[in-house]
Amino acid sequence: MKIAVVGTGYVGLVTGTCFAEVGIDVTCIDIDQKKIDNLKQGILPIYEPGLEEMVSRNAEKGRLQFSTNLAEGIHDADVAFIAVGTPPGEDGSADLKYVLAVARGIGEHMNSYGVIVTKSTVPVGTAAKVRAEIEKALEKRGVDIEFDVASNPEFLKEGAAIDDFLKPDRIVVGVASERAEEVMTKLYKPFLLNGHPIIFMDIPSAEMTKYAANSMLATKISFMNDIANLCEIMGADVNKVRQGIGSDARIGTKFIYPGIGYGGSCFPKDVKALIKTAAENGYDMQVLKAVENVNEAQKSVLFDKVNKHFAGDLQGKKMAIWGLSFKPKTDDMREAPSLVIIERLLEAGCKVSAYDPVAIKEAKHTLGDRITYAKDQFEALIDADALLIVTEWPEFRSPNFEVLGRLMKQKAIFDGRNIYDAKELSEVGFTYHCIGIRADH
Ligand code: NAD
């Protein structure tokens, strides 16, 4: 089979590379010339564990190509994926201008039957708009080429994207014809061998599934953050409560960790977009509005603890930050809670020294030289009045606290991810604050 993937970002690059990995002939297309030039030399635009090696291997074998030329890329393609961004517009709805521009381009250049698949996260009704754009372009050309549209939302997690793609919990595909279902079954066959299911449904249901999934996950996080805040007020320990409820199979242990709020390129924008879709159609998403409110407030919880500890006197204090990306194992800084926390610290007059294993380059785009960037986690601590754990990278989990104590001016840790043990830290003389457990518990 021959496929084209249009949009070579986090989703498009992983999608294209994983299809090439199972022997499919893939062209990844992007409008960003520099990105494509770099990819041709094996330089990746993103950090994703294992991806660089997989890109090189498949590019060397000639199964994975990179181009800025849409016409060339979609020539004779059985399937064309649209994997461009769908950022939030000013009113919170998903901005479809990139998706529809690609659809138009496909209509202007396609030469044979193909299935045009939206992999970007798009609201219900988008596949119909994609179809209309393509039809319009074909009409303009005065040609009659058959095609189908399909919706194939992506569920990969940044930081574990390759595994998620190669061994998916499920593949959701919305189709409106048997022919499209056959093509998509053939395409995904290599991924189904070990019992990973493909779920076919109508296109609107597939489009909705992605929003429902992300909104459910965001709800779990905000719910747990709400419970954590109440635990703290009431003198309960959220870690114990989490274990207590997680052992109920109906609830489960996953995704019920309290923290400093969800971020990233997906949850915030998808929750917003679903609220907006509902409102446009006369329905009020009450739960999701609360999920958003809790999340906004949660991003300030760690700063509030710092501020309280220093009795509001933060002027000139040096804060060490461990972790900048919105979660571990990615360099993605989009909507990262670290940005909110750092802004609050800077506003209060703090000096900030931050370390992240891979996200510093990305962070500099937003934070510039308003903070200093340490070359390792220990350099960030020198003379710090406090350490804030913002992203739970594995290498932060078990530091030598005696070394930390020697480097820092004051022994205070504010842990936004609950990765340390309060008792152990108090034994080595640290003041320790985390989420959902009172410091004196
Ligand atoms: P991204 O910003 O990393 O990548 C988008 C790419 O599309 C960019 O490289 C951009 O240059 C390119 N592009 C824009 N317009 C183009 C055009 N006309 N032709 C060719 N290329 C064009 O975005 P992403 O994180 O990969 O997300 C893409 C979509 O997938 C979004 O809808 C997102 O919601 C969804 N999604 C993302 C994730 C994730 O973890 N990042 C997971 C699931 C779904």
pLDDT tens-place string over residues 224-254: 999 999 999 999 999 999 999 999 999 999 9
pLDDT tens digits along 278-299: 999 999 999 999 999 999 999 9
Query: Could you tell me if 414 and 388 are in contact, meaning their C-beta atoms sit under 8 angstroms apart?
Result: yes
- With a 6 Å cutoff on the Cβ, whether 121 touches ligand 1 is yes
Lookup: tokens for 105: 């381009």
Which atom from ligand 1 is nearest to the alpha carbon of 94? Answer: 32
Q: How far apart are CA 319 and CA 346, in angstroms?
A: 10
Percent of the chain surpassing pLDDT 70? 100
- Region 132-153: mean pLDDT is 98
CATH architecture of 299-433: 3-Layer(aba) Sandwich (3.40)
In the predicted structure, residue 6 carries a pLDDT above the cut 70: yes
In the predicted structure, residue 330 carries a pLDDT above the cut 90: yes
Confidence bin at 439 (pLDDT 50/70/90): confident
CATH value of 2-210 in 3.40.50.720, 3.30.360.10, 1.10.760.10, 1.20.1260.10: 3.40.50.720
> What ipTM was assigned to the predicted interfaces of this complex?
0.99
Angle at 283 between CA 278 and CA 289, to 5 degrees: 70
What per-residue confidence (pLDDT) applies to 194? 84
Task: Extract the annotated binding site for substrate.
Answer: 155-158, 210, 255-259, 263, 327
* Helix %, strand %, coil % of the chain (to 5): 45, 15, 40
> How far, in Å, is the centroid of ligand 1 from the Cα of 207?
16
> How far, in Å, is the centroid of ligand 1 from the Cα of 384?
38
Q: How far apart are CA 83 and CA 5, in angstroms?
A: 7
In the predicted structure, residue 28 carries a pLDDT above the cut 70: yes
Three-state secondary-structure class, residue 267? helix
Closest to 67 in 3D by CA, of 36, 39, 43: 36
Q: What is the chain's mean pLDDT, rounded? A: 97
Lookup: tokens for 433: 């604050």
In the predicted structure, residue 441 carries a pLDDT above the cut 70: no
pLDDT tens digits along 362-413: 999 999 999 999 999 999 999 999 999 999 999 999 999 999 999 999 999 9
266 is catalytic: yes
In the predicted structure, residue 424 carries a pLDDT above the cut 70: yes
In the predicted structure, residue 440 carries a pLDDT above the cut 80: no
Domains 2-210 and 299-433 share a fold: yes
Q: Which amino acid is at 340?
A: V
Question: Active-site residue among 28, 266, 350, 434?
Answer: 266
Closest to 226 in 3D by CA, of 238, 217, 215, 214: 238
Element (H, E) at 412: strand 412-415
What per-residue confidence (pLDDT) applies to 379? 98
pLDDT tens digits along 210-225: 999 999 999 999 999 9
Element (H, E) at 189: helix 178-192
- Region 349-353: mean pLDDT is 98
pTM reported for the whole predicted model: 0.96
- Distance in angstroms between the alpha carbons of the first and the last residue of the chain: 60
Sign of CA dihedral 427, 393, 388, 240: negative
In the predicted structure, residue 349 carries a pLDDT above the cut 80: yes
CA 322 to chain centre: 19
Q: Which residue has the tokens 């181009």?
A: 67
- With a 6 Å cutoff on the Cβ, whether 377 touches ligand 1 is no
Which atom from ligand 1 is nearest to the alpha carbon of 98? Answer: 15
DSSP track, 414-441: EETT--S-HHHHHHTT-EEE-SSS-TT-
Q: Which residue has the tokens 């048997």?
A: 178
Closest to 245 in 3D by CA, of 261, 226, 224: 224
Domain-by-domain residue ranges, the chain?
A: 2-210, 299-433
Nearest CA to ligand 1 atom 43: 154
Q: How far apart are CA 112 and CA 283, in angstroms?
A: 41
Nearest CA to ligand 1 atom 37: 11
